[in-house]
Amino acid sequence: MEIITERLLLVPCSLDLIKSLAIYRKELEKRSPIKIPSDWPSTDLIGMLPYYIEKLECDKEEFGWGIWMIILYEEKRIIGDIMMRGKPVEGVVEFTHHLIQEIQDESIAFEAIEAMIDWFIEAQSIKSILTECNSNDEQSIRLLERLGMKCTLKDGAFLYWELHHAA
């Protein structure tokens, strides 16, 4: 299972890969044909690794509904991730995304998330896609608006976004 775009390869993290990231990172960096930057995964994602290990060990169908790597294909290096909060519930999926700090090109984030949204809708029959961002994150706000998402709620420092797709 993978998604290929013009510049990117999106690949879900397997149980073995997540365990290697959590436990054997140095060895994984040496052996991986894909360059793993020092600032990936983010500290938020690192904190979630034990949770995803447990989810995948308990339910094989969770594969594909957790962490996906965003790989810059030509350079064969990880540049970020898209993280789902588990299998869809009643046609609704939630996700967050993160790019490594050196990637400032908004078009890369757009390309990755647009491909993921297309996969949600076409391959998985998802009806609603949810995400959130910080209310002062202008780059994410522009990106989510450009993707056609609508801000549905402001709660303190967070904005909540939705995209609905009619079947």
- DSSP-derived letter for residue 87 is S
Average pLDDT, the chain: 90
Share of the chain above pLDDT 90, in %: 59
CATH of domain 3-164: 3.40.630.30
Mean pLDDT lowest for which of 22-26, 95-99, 148-152, 163-167?
163-167
pLDDT recorded at residue 70:
96
Domain range summary for the chain, segments of one domain joined by +? 3-164
Render pLDDT for 107-131 as a digit per residue (tens, 0 to 9): 999 999 999 999 988 877 788 999 9
Retrieve residue 120's tokens.
């949600």
Strand positions, DSSP E, the chain: 3-4, 8-12, 67-72, 77-84, 92-99, 128-134, 150-155, 158-164
Query: What amino acid is encoded at 9 in this protein?
Result: L
Render pLDDT for 28-82 as a digit per residue (tens, 0 to 9): 888 989 999 988 888 888 888 898 999 999 998 889 999 999 999 999 999 999 9
How many CB atoms sit inside 10 A of residue 66's CB? 25
Mean pLDDT lowest for which of 3-12, 122-131, 149-158?
122-131
pLDDT recorded at residue 105:
81
